[in-house]
Chains A and B, each alone.
Chain A
């Protein structure tokens, strides 16, 4: 198994003057957050977070405000030091790195996008994008060329010499993305990058990000408070609450098998149809059951793994019978209106 790009091992972050004592007490007595606050005046930011992100994977951490997700992401490039635990980038513990090495890592390997854009208002778009290259000491001609290239990637060619305040929110965040990509880092940290945008723009930027991710294929840690967004973008999702990662897995797992009531409450509003496959709703193919009366040539065929949402779309379009076929194009089942209704009923529950 290849080495993960990013790995967190039992990361704890406790805020407060007595963080060390508080941590010791937690380890010893297993205190809860209320007791920690009462006895030590400390706040638990991240509690025992462990996960690994594979190279090229988009990993979403989803949680409400105050859940500790923004604190956790800042451990990856050590903007925040953990109270305990390890963060590994390509297998190397970044807490063991010197200030110099850390700066190089930040400048070359890890790009970050911020919730409030955090573009530098006194620098042109080009100089914002080139910032990471500039602090590395790259000469102006090269860094401007690279900035222009990344701006083209986020469809902002021609805006190089404008200033951030002249751009709309969506455009500003595209600049933020270009800035994070400028140094061609291996890893992208995205801290609620689209949260501050209005819904239409957010949707549009999500689509653009999906397209872009297909091109640049960066290992991405994506923080969001929006489960829809996590499901749209993430290969895997982790749900965070009160500093803990309470469930981790592919989107369909989270939606179909919530680990506890908290997660269940979240996924309630999510349509499950996307995660149900044709296989789950079909009636088995049996020639006896009147299948002979169906002429295969006159049917719409769908694959076993097609999602139910698209099957419903097909059913709505035509009167034709829908036949489910396997990899070798052999009929294995038939989708009846009753089966579809059952699926809809189940997904709404």
Chain B
């Protein structure tokens, strides 16, 4: 047998290289994630839990109907009651940070894929690869480059949560009726105007589905990222598992499921509702 390929050594060197030469980049990323996460967490702490719970229930009622509203009221109420509100707020802050940063990457990338054949042919296999990899693997480079805590959690989240909205944005734009584009062209639109006024609004529901998936992926990954020091409900579960505290673990687990269902139903409901009105007020409308 030939000698072992020094993948491990190479990886260590790469990490050392990044740590030395791309330090500003790494530090900027850490700074952004910490600030965003901190801001979201502050937001959650700025109002008492009942206010948030009732607020979520109202939003759920508006977008997803009374059933989900009651579910949210009871589910979040239970989390608060069980002394898990702080952990919930931590998890949600991480999810929102991860989602926001993923979308900032994914939506422009999706647009670029839809508009440029070159970008598409480069990105499609990369996205394929990212989506076949078992999600656990993403933790390794995250930890190697960014250490522990919030930043690697967000980075790992992004690797999992960027592909779906990227794809859906590209598909959504690609599926816009060419007759709409032709009509817009016939009235003298520039390429940007066609994108902003016709394609993006018409791709709105696909993009919203991407946002939904991005949130779900973020939640899934944020929980796993408790392994690398991300706090919140995942950390509670991990602790409960290692201390064999069945009840504690299950309650935290129920909490995660409650969050998952609320996020999923509310975002799907919102997408349906906004596109029913054709999303006129929410989408980019420049004067």
Of chain B, the residue at the smallest CB distance from A121 is: B278
Taking the nearest CB of chain A, how far is it from the CB of B194, in angstroms?
9
B contact residues around A111 at 8 Å (CB): 187
The minimal Cβ–Cβ distance linking B197 to chain A, given in whole angstroms, is: 7
Judge if B198 is at the interface, Cβ distance under 8 Å: yes
B126 at the interface (CB under 8 A from A): no
Q: For B187, list chain A residues within 8 Å (CB).
A: 106-107, 111-112, 131-132, 135, 179
Is B188 a contact partner of A135 (Cβ separation < 8 A)?
yes
Nearest chain A CB to B23's CB is how many angstroms away? 44
**Shortest Cβ gap from B15 to chain A (Å):** 47
Nearest CB on A from B279, distance (A) = 6
- Inter-chain contacts of A321 with B (CB < 8 A): none
Chain A residue, CB-CB nearest to B193: A135
> Given A118-B182, A120-B180, A122-B279, are A135 and B190 also a contact pair (CB < 8 Å)?
yes
Residues in B171-195 with C-beta less than 8 Å from chain A = 177, 179-180, 182-190, 193
Chain A residues positioned under 8 Å from B188 (CB to CB): 102-108, 132, 135-136
Say yes or no: B179 contacts A122, CB within 8 Å.
Answer: no
* Chain B residue, CB-CB nearest to A112: B186
For B190, give the chain A residue with the smallest CB separation. A103
CB distance from A181 to the nearest CB of B (A): 12
Contact with B along A123-150 (1 / 0, CB 8 A): 1100100011011100110000000000
Contacts of B184 in A (CB 8 A): 120, 131, 135
Report whether B280 and A114 are in contact in the complex, using a CB–CB cutoff of 8 Å.
no
Q: Does A259 contact B (CB under 8 A)?
A: no
- Asked if B118 is at the interface (CB within 8 A of a chain A CB), the reply is no
Any chain B CB within 8 A of the CB of A163? yes
Q: CB-CB < 8 A to A108: which residues of B?
A: 188
The residues of A that contact B180 with a CB separation of less than 8 Å are 118, 120
**Number of A-B residue pairs at CB separation under 8 A:** 69
Q: Is A202 at the interface (CB under 8 A from chain B)?
A: no
Where chain B touches its partner, the secondary structure class is: helix
Output the least CB separation between A337 and chain B (Å). Answer: 54
Within 8 A of A (CB), among B186-239: 186-190, 193, 197-198, 201-202, 204
CB contacts (< 8 Å) of A106 on chain B: these are 185-188
Q: Are B202 and A122 in contact (CB under 8 A)?
A: yes
**B104 contacts A by Cβ under 8 Å:** no
CA distance A232 to B105 in the complex (A): 56
**A116 within 8 Å of B (CB atoms):** yes
Q: How far is the CA of A43 from the CA of B180 in the complex (A)?
A: 25
**Do most interface residues of chain A lie in helix, strand or loop, or is the interface mixed?**
mixed
Bound complex: CA of A239 vs CA of B183, how far in Å? 25
Cα–Cα distance between A74 and B274 once the two chains are bound (Å): 35
CB-based contact B183/A163 at 8 Å: no
Measured CA separation A287–B166 after assembly (Å): 91
A140 / chain B contacts, CB cutoff of 8 Å: 287
Docked Cα-Cα span, A300 to B73, in Å, equals 88
| Contact present for B198 and A120 (CB under 8 Å) | yes
Contacting pair B287 A122 (CB below 8 A): no
Whether a CB of chain A sits under 8 angstroms from the CB of B124 is no
Contact of A124 among B183, B189, B190, B280 (CB under 8 A): B280
* Docked complex Cα distance between A131 and B193 (Å): 11
CB proximity of B172 to chain A, nearest CB, Å = 13
Instruction: Establish whether residues A103 and B278, one from each chain, have CB atoms under 8 Å apart when the complex forms.
Output: no
Chain A's closest residue to B277 (CB) is A163
Q: Report how far A131 CA is from B201 CA in the complex, Å.
A: 14
Q: A86-126 CB contact bits vs B (8 Å, 1 = yes)?
A: 00000000000000001111111011101010101111100
Judge if B32 is at the interface, Cβ distance under 8 Å: no
For A179, list chain B residues within 8 Å (CB): 187
Q: Indicate whether B283 reaches chain A with its CB closer than 8 angstroms.
A: yes
| Given A103-B190, A116-B179, A140-B287, also A122-B185 (CB < 8 A) | no
User: A103-B188, A108-B188 are known contacts. Are A122 and B183 too (CB-CB below 8 A)?
Assistant: no
Question: A116 — nearest CB in chain B belongs to which residue?
Answer: B179
Known: A135-B190, A135-B197, A139-B287. A114 touches B183 (CB 8 A): yes
Q: How far is the CB of B241 from chain A (nearest CB, A)?
A: 48
Query: 30 A-B Cβ contacts within 8 A?
Result: A77-B186, A79-B182, A79-B186, A103-B190, A104-B188, A105-B188, A106-B186, A106-B187, A107-B187, A114-B182, A116-B179, A118-B177, A118-B179, A118-B180, A118-B182, A118-B183, A120-B180, A120-B183, A120-B184, A120-B198, A122-B204, A122-B278, A131-B187, A131-B197, A132-B187, A132-B188, A135-B184, A135-B188, A139-B287, A163-B277
Known: A102-B188, A114-B179, A122-B283. 16 other contacts (CB 8 A): A79-B186, A106-B185, A110-B186, A111-B187, A114-B182, A118-B180, A118-B182, A120-B184, A120-B198, A122-B278, A124-B280, A131-B197, A135-B187, A135-B188, A140-B287, A163-B277
4 nearest A-B pairs in the assembled complex, by CB-CB distance: A107-B188, A106-B188, A132-B187, A122-B278
Q: Which residues of B contact A (CB under 8 A)?
A: 177, 179-180, 182-190, 193, 197-198, 201-202, 204, 277-280, 283, 287
